[in-house]
Amino acid sequence: MKISTNQYFTSLNKQMTAQQSKIAESQAQLATGKKAVTPSSDLEATTSTLRLQSVISKQNDYVANLNSLEDRLVNEEGAISAMQDMVYRMQELAIAARSNTYSAQDVSYMATEAEGYLIDIKALANSVDMNGRYIFAGTATTTQPFVTLDSGETEYRGNQAEVALEVDGGYKLNLNTSGYNLAGRFDRVADDGSTSKVDMFTVMTDFVNALKANDPDAIGTTMDELDSVSNHLGSQVVDLGVRQNLITQRKEIAADKQIIYENLLSEAQDIDFSKAITQLSSDMLALEAAQSTFAKVTQLSLFNFI
């Protein structure tokens, strides 16, 4: 079979065109640092990149949720710790008022001080977050949770819902503390032995009233109840601390995962510069050889053999 000069020309032209395309692609890879200059140029790298980018995006959202939850828990802990400190001071006032070493005027001053703490604690219980939403209202975050009635009693108008966030592997962590759980429920034993439930605002209000009346027996009753309130708030602070520690651990795990995902993404989409440069050099040598051969073929003539 004879091979014409035109066949040589066509074959070499295709080789040079293919080689030029390879060089152009290598140059584009070196310029961008990416394996897939266009999605179609490396389908495997493109698919892996998109999948890993989706995973990383979800991981970023997860970390953002953890940070938001941590901020909320810090706010809750600060408010409840402040409440507990004021209850501690009320307990001190109760002990002083029952000691029979202070005058009725002194006890009235104590009542004024205790009433100020009650007002401050209610204000803390009505705390809002950076978005202006009540943090102790359950899921009714636009409703002021604690309202003082004309009778002097405190009414809770939020709900008991506590939302949980799935932080890892199906584990759920409470996002909030409802005002219902914040206020607690404590046993009050009447003189006839019957028991009723009261919340911390009822206890504190009755304590203030007992001081105003300078009633040692009532002060003694509410003093014991204030101890229960203090313990209850302390357990809330501990629970918030545990939740914050769990979030810190999850954030550390998330950071480790993030590094792994970023490395995998780099392997999927980034080129190895040393290999790419070596390949480019090899392709350019091949192109030069093809061009040299092409030049010789195009110069062939019968006169060369006469």
Q: Does pLDDT of 300 surpass 60?
A: no
Give the pLDDT mean for 210-238. Answer: 92
pLDDT band at 147 (very low <50, low <70, confident <90, very high): very high
Give the pLDDT mean for 112-120. Answer: 96
pLDDT band at 2 (very low <50, low <70, confident <90, very high): very low
282 residue type, one letter: S
pTM: 0.68
Q: Which of 11-15, 16-20, 237-241, 260-264 has the highest mean pLDDT?
A: 237-241
Classify burial at 276, counting beta carbons within 10 Å of its beta carbon; exposed 0-12, middle 13-18, buried 19 or more: middle
220: enclosing H helix or E strand: helix 216-269
pLDDT band at 152 (very low <50, low <70, confident <90, very high): confident
Classify burial at 137, counting beta carbons within 10 Å of its beta carbon; exposed 0-12, middle 13-18, buried 19 or more: buried
Compute the distance between CA of residue 13 and CA of residue 18 in angstroms, rounded to an integer: 9
pLDDT band at 282 (very low <50, low <70, confident <90, very high): low
Would you state the pLDDT for residue 101? 87
pLDDT band at 6 (very low <50, low <70, confident <90, very high): low
Largest Cα–Cα distance of the chain, in whole Å? 138
Question: 17-50 in b/e burial notation, b at 16+ Cβ within 10 A?
Answer: eebeebbebbeebeeeebbbbeeeebeebbebbe
Would you state the pLDDT for residue 305? 44
Q: Does pLDDT of 45 surpass 70?
A: no
Q: What percent of the chain has pLDDT over 90?
A: 37
Compute the distance between CA of residue 294 and CA of residue 271 in angstroms, rounded to an integer: 32
Instruction: Report CA-CA distances (Å) from 195 to 104, 186, 198, 254.
Output: 31, 10, 10, 49
Rg of the chain over all Cα atoms, to the nearest angstrom:
38
Would you state the pLDDT for residue 231? 95
Sign of the torsion angle spanned by Cα atoms 127, 131, 134, 135: negative
Instruction: Report CA-CA distances (Å) from 295 to 15, 184, 246, 281, 304.
Output: 13, 94, 72, 21, 15
Q: How many C-beta atoms lie closer than 10 Å to residue 204's C-beta?
A: 25
Sign of the torsion angle spanned by Cα atoms 97, 103, 108, 112: negative
Query: Which of the pair, 143 or 55, is modelled with greater confidence?
Result: 143
Give the pLDDT mean for 131-148. Answer: 92
Give the pLDDT mean for 130-140. Answer: 89
Residues 247 and 66: beta-carbon distance below 8 Å = yes
Between the two ends of the chain, the Cα-to-Cα distance in Å is 23
Residues 6+ apart with CB under 8 A from 32: none
φ/ψ (deg, to 5) at 213 = -85, -10
Instruction: Report CA-CA distances (Å) from 127 to 87, 117, 177, 239.
Output: 18, 15, 12, 19
